[in-house]
Structure 1
Amino acid sequence: MQDDPKSLKKEKDIDQFVDVGLSEYELERLENIRQNQAFLSTIDLLQASEELKELSRKKASQKGLKRLQREPVVKDLLPSRKSLRLQHKEAETLTLPKEKPTYTQPQFVKKAAGPLPMEAINMEEGFTLSSQLQQLCSEESTQDRKTALDLKDYRAALKSMRITADQVAKVVYDRTFSVAFHPSTSSLFMATGDKLGRVGLWNMGGACGDDGVLLFQPHSRPVCCLSFSPACSHQLLSLSYDGSLRCMDLNKALFEDVYDISDGLKTFDFLSHDCSTLLVGNWDGEVAIVDRRTPGNSHESLHSMDPKTLRCVSVHPLQRQYFAVAESWTVNIYDSRCLKKCKSSSVCELSGHSKSISSAYFSPHTGDRVLTTCMDDTIRIYDTSAMTGNSPLLTSIRHNVHTGRYLSKLSAVWDPKLEACFGVGSMARVRQVQVFHESGELLHTFTDQDNLSTVQSIVAFHPTRNALAGGNASGRLHVFTDWC
């Protein structure tokens, strides 16, 4: 092994002091320095230190949206403050206000009711959607053409999925609240909603927009629920806290009104196979049945459930008259044919939660399972094949879901390609996304030191391809796939 040039130089520096007449202590100190430098050069510690510094300077992915240009802040020039004591003046007498100042919530300007043009806010004025993008979004859903996988093949597919720098992009400017995959198999096309009402579209590998990203703003508050219509794949439905539910139609290049209230919408699902009827839930514990074929943007009927809170609704995939509602500390399953205006009786109950429930979803093929995520740090799977009385608990998995106020809540979601498997983000320090079997077995953990360094609060699976997307607090999507 060759000597380090730096250590050789230090040896020469020490030798030149020997003839100067240094004391024995000083010569011993210089010899210790020489030996330490020689040891460090043998273990390459200095080189490792430089590599660590280089890693710390590593920037997040620059693909996707460019940096948001903000207006420069102009500060008023105030006169310099002078001491009253030095000016030989009496001190001012200050009196406290009689009442404490009240905090006012920031005002959000809601978009006007009615259709909105699809104007990409990250593109120049006059930009129009490309015919290639419209053709991609109009591809027929392949949901009925899924090939059945056994658990062994599914595990192998998970292990084959990777992430690269090209599979990370900034799709919205603020915190991710929702993510959805388009069912197309010719390209990976995703949508995501953020904290300030924006909806971003990302055609991975596409040339349209900023690295395939187009950004729109049909809402003014968090877009907490997104879904491409299984019946019309060129339509994307988005729901927001601002009380609006809109349908983005790429063929018409419009955001059409579907449902609108003053504020507080939380969740929705398709109540009919043709997606013409929707089940919409709000923060006040009410569930509305909305028929898109009816003129206007109101509901057909409104039903009060839990007056405290309502987090999630999920419709049974086969028997669509049944739907699950996450209410406070329990999940109830109702029959839409037997609903009353208030105090409706549930068909069965999923109990055992000790804190509020973030989400509850029927399994995608049979509906024989319900997957819940609860703030008591537990993911639960219930058997709902009987749909009577109190559904039995099958599996309980401990999982930290306490994200704090600056991250979206973690929610476990089913993989539509296999009935018994689901994915969820993680708060573990090695940032990751985990995939479990309904038995509680951990099937795979997605990690990547170079391209995954943040918590993936929101996750979504492609309905047919081996692809998983995770969204973080800065509006970036991270995609694991075996796409060639």
Structure 2
Amino acid sequence: MSDFDAEREANIARNRALLAELNLTAGLDIPPKKNAQEKKSNKAAKPVQSRKRPRRDTTPPPARETRQSARLKQTTSHVPDPNETPAQRKRREKEEAEQRAKEEEARLEAEEKLRQAKRPRHQDLDISTLAEELEDNDLLTFNEGVMQVIMKTKHPRGIADENSFAFENDKEDQREVKELKERLKGMKVVARAKVTEDRVYSAAYHPEVTKDLIFFGDKHGQLGIWDARAPIEEVADADGEVAAADNSEGGKYWRLQPHWPATSKSSISCIKFDPIDSHLVYTSSYDCTIRRLSFSSGISREVYSSEDTLISSFDMPPSGNEMWISDASGGVTHLDLRQDKTKARWYQLSDQKIGSVSVNPVNDHFILTASNSRVLKVWDTRSLADIKHSKHQATNPMDFDSEVIEGFISSKQGKTCLRGNWQHGKSVSSAYWDPRGRGIVSTCYDDSIRLWDVKPQFLKKDAPFPTFRPITQIKHDCQTGRWLTILKAQWSPNPDIYPHFTVGNMQHSLDIISCKGDLIAKLMDKSRITAVQAVTCSHPSIVERAASGNASGRCVLWAPSEES
């Protein structure tokens, strides 16, 4: 240090000691001097900085009518002529009444337009409407960088054989786990970006292999599409400085608004690609609708809607012609996409909210439901299709409430409807079939992840499962609270690799676990990741790919370091 710096440091030390002697430091905020290591750690923990700045609204605010008391209105209104004739007075009163009627009509029309603007949109929407917040050049890059790439190949969903990776002894399982650990141990944070404006609720990895295209749905009905490996464009800030490489975003993203209004009433609860044609992406929302966006036509179309029942999730069999939809009323809806949506059948399979529904990819007549009633259940939909209303019942012929369902299950005809169930300690957040159609993973608020291995012979017999017990139970903190998206373990959709799933961790890591409960990888980076990675997904065909999102809309791509 120079003589001046040394003298300055000595003065500061003397002043601090004097204040301490006089007991005057309690009301002063004198931060201690930080060493080099602390400065370095604080600098490394900076969150990813968004390169895109919101456009400034240059339009002037609408003029508001100044409120006025009735007394002032009377004094400022037209003063009638005391010498007016009866005919003139009658004509004046008629004109004033007509004017008041026009003003009231205009007021009611404005209020109705405001109400309509806050209601869900049920009409067809084109890309330009969904992307009205994008600049013209951003819309052009979206068309060239996403839509044109997606339309090259249909990428049908892969399905594994139900007997694949089913070994007689544990040594073979351990060998597969070891091989998978070797492949995934090099995965790091290779890209970060604030893809959506609000909390991430759902995610899906597009099967395209030439790009990492990840779709994220947020709390306010926004669909963020992230090309995570696109070249980074360095953008200077207001001072002309370019953001540092480790704090800037990775790739490019575009934000669409398929669900409306842009409030928490439109949170996107689930995202799925069509099993046959990945040009189509389906999204369900708390606005009680499910929409299908076609990248071939550029049109978003509503395929299902309910009056006031919140949609929690949906799933599709490999054929892509049907859809099973779960809701907050404890119901599951069967929708045939080849028929009119008014012919959808609704079954109340629980007395509380069903948080997820999963269709078996190999035996698609089996569905799995997880509900707040703490029970996980396996249903045979062939039996559900046989349910009929009694003649004396005057309910909707397409709706079957819990009384009808319970009566059918207890009958001789419905004894094979409910194949298996398992009581959890608390609400079951989610439950999904693996790509083989025999493994099941569930997450529960009793801080446990449970795994099942259903024998194929159980699925082939027309009878309830002889046994339906989890093969293992893993302790996992699932207490996300109010401000985090519920943790849901998601299977890797890759049918050619040993079954495993990804799940967020309250310690800010992304955990990868095998179908037998072995921890394969714990992906984390304390210097760059400072939030819970609540929502996760994996690439359908590339093993070394995973993505995650957090409560602020920031998303992460995990891949081998050479992919950065």
TM-score relative to the length of structure 1: 0.78
2:278 equivalent to 1:233: yes
Q: Residue 127 of structure 2 is aligned with which of 118, 121, 124?
A: 118
Q: Tell me by how many angstroms 1:286 deviates.
A: 1.4
**In structure 2, C-alpha distance between the alignment counterparts of 1:299 and 1:244, rounded to whole Å:** 16
Specify the SS of the correspondent of 1:130: helix
Amino acid at match of 1:123: L
Aligned to 2:437: 367
Asked if 1 retains the 8 angstrom alpha-carbon contact of 2:448 and 2:477, the reply is: yes
Aligned to 1:303: 347
Matches within 5 A, 1:39-438: 46-55=35-44, 58-63=46-51, 65-67=52-54, 109-119=118-128, 120-124=131-135, 127=139, 129-138=142-151, 139-141=153-155, 143-144=157-158, 150-164=176-190, 167-206=191-230, 211-220=251-260, 221-263=266-308, 264-271=310-317, 273-295=318-340, 297-327=341-371, 328-339=373-384, 340=387, 341=400, 342-343=404-405, 345=409, 346-364=417-435, 366-385=436-455, 386-387=458-459, 388-417=465-494, 418-428=497-507, 431-438=508-515
Q: Tell me by how many angstroms 1:432 deviates.
A: 0.7
Asked if 1 retains the 8 angstrom alpha-carbon contact of 2:200 and 2:553, the reply is: yes
Amino acid at match of 2:135: E
Amino acid at match of 1:109: K
Asked if 2 retains the 8 angstrom alpha-carbon contact of 1:242 and 1:262, the reply is: no
**In structure 1, C-alpha distance between the alignment counterparts of 2:125 and 2:8, rounded to whole Å:** 75
Asked if 1 retains the 8 angstrom alpha-carbon contact of 2:177 and 2:520, the reply is: no
Identity of aligned residues (%): 25
Q: Tell me by how many angstroms 1:254 deviates.
A: 0.9
Q: Cα gap change, 1:68/1:351 in structure 2, threshold over 3 Å: closer, same or farther? A: farther
**In structure 2, C-alpha distance between the alignment counterparts of 1:13 and 1:409, rounded to whole Å:** 54
1:397-442 deviation per Cα after TM superposition (whole angstroms, max 9, x unaligned): 11111111111011111122334311110112xx211111233221
Specify the SS of the correspondent of 2:154: coil
Q: Cα gap change, 1:468/1:287 in structure 2, threshold over 3 Å: closer, same or farther? A: same
**In structure 2, C-alpha distance between the alignment counterparts of 1:199 and 1:213, rounded to whole Å:** 10
Q: Tell me by how many angstroms 1:214 deviates.
A: 1.4
Aligned to 2:551: 473
Q: Greater relative contact order: 1 or 2 (C-alpha under 8 angstroms, separation 6 or more)?
A: 2
Asked if 1 retains the 8 angstrom alpha-carbon contact of 2:534 and 2:549, the reply is: yes
1:107-144 deviation per Cα after TM superposition (whole angstroms, max 9, x unaligned): 99233213111231331369455244223212231654
Specify the SS of the correspondent of 2:188: coil
Q: Cα gap change, 1:479/1:69 in structure 2, threshold over 3 Å: closer, same or farther? A: farther
Amino acid at match of 1:188: D
**In structure 2, C-alpha distance between the alignment counterparts of 1:439 and 1:158, rounded to whole Å:** 17
Specify the SS of the correspondent of 1:153: helix
Q: Cα gap change, 1:108/1:114 in structure 2, threshold over 3 Å: closer, same or farther? A: closer
Specify the SS of the correspondent of 1:393: coil
Q: Tell me by how many angstroms 1:225 deviates.
A: 0.3
RMSD: 3.3
Q: Which runs of 4+ in 1 moved over 6 A?
A: 11-14, 70-74, 145-149, 207-210
Q: Which has the higher helix share?
A: 2
Asked if 2 retains the 8 angstrom alpha-carbon contact of 1:180 and 1:191, the reply is: yes
Amino acid at match of 2:123: G
Asked if 1 retains the 8 angstrom alpha-carbon contact of 2:376 and 2:423, the reply is: no
Amino acid at match of 2:258: P
Q: Tell me by how many angstroms 1:68 deviates.
A: 7.4
Q: Cα gap change, 1:459/1:107 in structure 2, threshold over 3 Å: closer, same or farther? A: farther
**In structure 2, C-alpha distance between the alignment counterparts of 1:118 and 1:130, rounded to whole Å:** 10
Amino acid at match of 2:328: W
Aligned to 1:34: none
1:128-176 deviation per Cα after TM superposition (whole angstroms, max 9, x unaligned): 5524422321223165499999323311121121213xx1111111000
**In structure 1, C-alpha distance between the alignment counterparts of 2:222 and 2:321, rounded to whole Å:** 24
Specify the SS of the correspondent of 1:474: coil
TM-score relative to the length of structure 2: 0.67
Specify the SS of the correspondent of 1:367: coil
**In structure 2, C-alpha distance between the alignment counterparts of 1:162 and 1:464, rounded to whole Å:** 19
Q: Tell me by how many angstroms 1:392 deviates.
A: 1.6
Specify the SS of the correspondent of 2:201: strand
**In structure 2, C-alpha distance between the alignment counterparts of 1:362 and 1:276, rounded to whole Å:** 19
